[in-house]
């Protein structure tokens, strides 16, 4: 009787333990799946109906290989555990459309042989859907970002380029098209038409917009220094080179290098630059190790490079290397529709800058539109800044405009020299020479250009300019 009672207590204890284990079995994970070492299903927790569309009785006794083949779930975690003989973690898809995160664990005997495989699964369908929705949202945001970037770029064209004429709008469209390719761009046009503005616009619209935009005016650097400015130099390469210096190509790496006035380069520099561009590597002055670089190159000039090629002052192969995508900017006199827009833009800019409230009378605006602007946009900008700063009245009249544009009202009617009083001939010649040199300095950037226009030697121009500066 006592033994029977003890056995009954043990049976009750086993039943309770079994109930506890079943509760754990059914609630710890969405599904617990137990198989033997042959892949035969031994037990499955109650959630199997919801996840796989099968009752426990439909799964127990069936091989995981068979169930996988039927598409009940794919892939079979048990199969992969038996093949690899180690724990496996994967994402499983069921024929009901659920996605499960499954961890399959092998249970081994004392000899290291697998006797059971236990899979613990969690339903991550909702998480996957959220992930998918997040990806869709990211794509939508990226689309909006691209649209905003495009609007920003076009807005910059409206503000910095201030294009109203068909000619300039076509140039803006061309610049936008070439912005995201790496082809070399050659910008052509007279001094002051806005070549640097176009170059900067192309950089801002490109994939390298967050990278450096390095610019160098080749006519502003003496020839003996231009090579080291472009390519850099090593310590001790020449007298004064007390430390290593990186050149413009290295500084612009991964970004854009803008070389203005390339027509002023000597044949020697052209030769070196051609090799560097073709090989995409350089040697610093005094260096021995080749340095690789990756840049977007934009060049500009106001010279007729093709004519220079014919004259032998510009290398033909260098010309064709630079002239991949030419962009010709017309002079301001050839796009008069832009004059009014530019005038109003610069008035607004300098009114804000100097806290003024200047306005132009209609007749004054008409006068500015009739002027031929030999100095192009740069001259127009300088003139507008001048009358915003110097004018005392808020409304700027025609007479004041003419005062700024011409030394007197007859100046625009003649291309000759006007003499208003008798002075010694020597003083007259010196004064005309001074005015001529100052005018040429405003219009041309290099002494070689000034010498060419005035038809004298470059050394003569350099000497006269130096004397003018010392007075």
CATH number listed for the domain at residues 16-123: 3.30.450.20
Higher-pLDDT residue of 90, 414: 90
Residue 454, both tokens: 């005035």
| Residues 72, 77, 81, 83, CA torsion sign | positive
Q: Is the pLDDT of residue 57 over 90?
A: no
Q: Is the pLDDT of residue 414 over 80?
A: no
Mean pLDDT taken over the chain:
81
* Chain centre distance of CA 128: 35
| Distance separating alpha carbons of residues 432 and 427, to the nearest angstrom | 9
Which run of H or E residues covers position 258? Answer: strand 256-260
Higher-pLDDT residue of 418, 395: 395
Task: Please give the pLDDT value at position 129.
Answer: 59
Contact between 445 and 219 under an 8 Å Cβ cutoff? The reply is yes
Mean local confidence (pLDDT), 182-189: 95
> Tens digit of pLDDT for each residue in 272-300?
999 999 999 988 888 888 899 999 999 99
94 confidence band (pLDDT: 50, 70, 90): confident
Task: Please give the pLDDT value at position 159.
Answer: 46
Helix (H, G, I), strand (E, B) or coil at 113: coil
Largest CA distance in the chain: 151
Decide if 16-123 and 333-413 have a common fold: no
Report the percentage of the chain scoring pLDDT > 90: 32
User: Which of 2-11, 116-125, 157-166, 393-402 is predicted with the least confidence, judged by mean pLDDT?
Assistant: 2-11
149 confidence band (pLDDT: 50, 70, 90): low
Give residue for tokens 């009358």: 387
> Tens digit of pLDDT for each residue in 335-391?
989 999 999 999 998 999 889 998 999 898 888 988 889 889 999 999 999 989 888
Contact between 107 and 114 under an 8 Å Cβ cutoff? The reply is yes
Give residue for tokens 């033909």: 316
CATH number listed for the domain at residues 333-413: 1.10.8.60
Cα atoms in the 13 Å half-sphere on the side-chain side of 350: 19
Which run of H or E residues covers position 325? Answer: strand 325-328
Task: Please give the pLDDT value at position 19.
Answer: 47
Class of domain 162-330: alpha beta
Residues in CB range of 150: below 8 A, 6 or more apart? none
Contact between 25 and 56 under an 8 Å Cβ cutoff? The reply is no
Give residue for tokens 């507008």: 384
- Listed by start position, the domains of the chain span 16-123, 162-330, 333-413, 425-470
What residues form DSSP beta bridges with 36?
Answer: 116
20 confidence band (pLDDT: 50, 70, 90): very low
């Amino acid at each position: 009787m006592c033994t029977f009672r003890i056995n009954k207590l043990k049976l009750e204890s086993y039943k309770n333990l079994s109930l506890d284990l079943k509760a754990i079995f059914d609630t710890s994970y969405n599904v617990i799946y137990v198989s033997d070492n042959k892949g035969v299903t031994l037990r499955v927790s109650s959630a199997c109906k919801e996840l796989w569309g099968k009752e426990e009785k439909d799964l127990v006794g069936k091989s995981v290989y068979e169930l996988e083949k039927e598409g009940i779930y794919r892939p079979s975690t048990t199969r992969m555990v038996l093949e690899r003989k180690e724990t496996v973690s994967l994402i499983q898809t069921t024929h009901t459309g659920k996605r499960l995160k499954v961890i399959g664990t092998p249970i081994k005997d004392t000899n290291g042989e697998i006797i059971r495989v236990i899979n613990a699964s969690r339903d991550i369908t909702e998480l996957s859907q959220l992930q998918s929705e997040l990806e869709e949202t990211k794509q939508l945001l990226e689309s909006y970002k691209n649209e905003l970037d495009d609007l920003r770029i076009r807005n910059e064209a409206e503000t910095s380029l201030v294009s109203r004429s068909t000619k300039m709008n076509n140039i803006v469209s061309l610049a936008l098209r070439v912005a995201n390719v790496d082809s070399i761009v050659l910008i052509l046009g007279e001094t002051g038409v806005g070549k640097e503005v176009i170059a900067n616009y192309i950089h801002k619209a490109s994939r390298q917009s967050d990278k450096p935009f390095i610019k160098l005016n080749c006519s502003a650097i003496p020839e003996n220094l231009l090579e080291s400015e472009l390519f850099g130099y090593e310590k001790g390469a020449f007298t004064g080179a007390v430390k290593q210096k990186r050149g413009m190509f290295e500084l612009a790496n991964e970004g854009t290098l803008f070389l203005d006035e390339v027509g002023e380069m000597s044949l020697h520099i052209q030769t070196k630059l051609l090799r560097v561009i073709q090989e995409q590597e350089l040697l610093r002055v005094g260096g021995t190790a080749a340095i690789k670089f990756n840049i977007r190159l934009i060049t500009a000039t106001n010279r007729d490079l093709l004519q220079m090629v014919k004259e032998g002052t510009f290398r033909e192969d260098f010309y064709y290397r630079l002239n991949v995508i030419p962009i010709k900017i017309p002079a301001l006199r050839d796009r008069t529709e832009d004059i009014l827009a530019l005038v109003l833009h610069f008035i607004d800019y300098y009114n804000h800058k100097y806290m003024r409230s200047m306005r132009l009378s209609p007749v004054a605006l008409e006068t500015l539109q009739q002027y031929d602007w030999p100095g192009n946009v740069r001259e127009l900008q300088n003139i507008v800044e001048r009358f915003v700063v110097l004018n005392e009245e808020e409304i700027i009249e025609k007479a004041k405009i003419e005062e700024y544009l011409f030394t007197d009202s007859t100046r625009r009617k003649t291309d000759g020299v006007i003499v208003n009083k008798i002075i010694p001939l020597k003083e007259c010649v010196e004064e005309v020479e001074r005015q001529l040199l100052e005018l040429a300095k405003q219009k041309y950037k290099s002494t070689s250009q000034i010498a060419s226009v005035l038809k004298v030697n470059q050394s003569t121009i350099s000497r006269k300019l130096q004397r003018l500066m010392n007075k």
